Amino acid sequence: MLTFKATAQLFILGCTWSLGILQVGPAAHVMSYLFTIINSLQGVFIFLVHCLLSQQVREQYRNWLKRIKKTKAESEKYTLSSRIMSDGCKHS
């Protein structure tokens, strides 16, 4: 797995500079656009390689999402009971 991560990182970081070097001649505009687009997506690629491919990070994301769902469910429960209480007061 470390070899894959290292290869992916080398490709991500080296790909844009190889496009940057090719910005000569009639294809300069195309290479400039490709360089800019791929360079702006480097953060996403690095996030995918280092965060989503790591088992420990994925477990932490799962725990975080479970806590958010639990908090949201508890919040909705109190909101629903508050609505029932306020609706009951209006009809009295």
Q: Which residues of 30-66 are buried (b: 16+ CB within 10 A; e: fewer)?
A: ebeebbeebeeeeeebeeebeeeeeeeeeeeeeeeee
> Residue 41: which domain range?
1-53
> Are 26 and 37 in the same domain?
yes
- pTM value is 0.50
User: What pLDDT, on a 0 to 100 scale, did the predictor assign at position 78?
Assistant: 64
Q: How far, in Å, CA of 21 to CA of 31, rounded?
A: 9
User: What pLDDT, on a 0 to 100 scale, did the predictor assign at position 63?
Assistant: 92
pLDDT beneath 50: ranges in the chain: none
| Total count of domains within the chain | 2
> Are 59 and 88 in the same domain?
yes
> Are 5 and 44 in the same domain?
yes
> Are 46 and 88 in the same domain?
no
> Are 83 and 49 in the same domain?
no
User: What pLDDT, on a 0 to 100 scale, did the predictor assign at position 82?
Assistant: 59
User: What pLDDT, on a 0 to 100 scale, did the predictor assign at position 81?
Assistant: 59
User: What pLDDT, on a 0 to 100 scale, did the predictor assign at position 90?
Assistant: 57
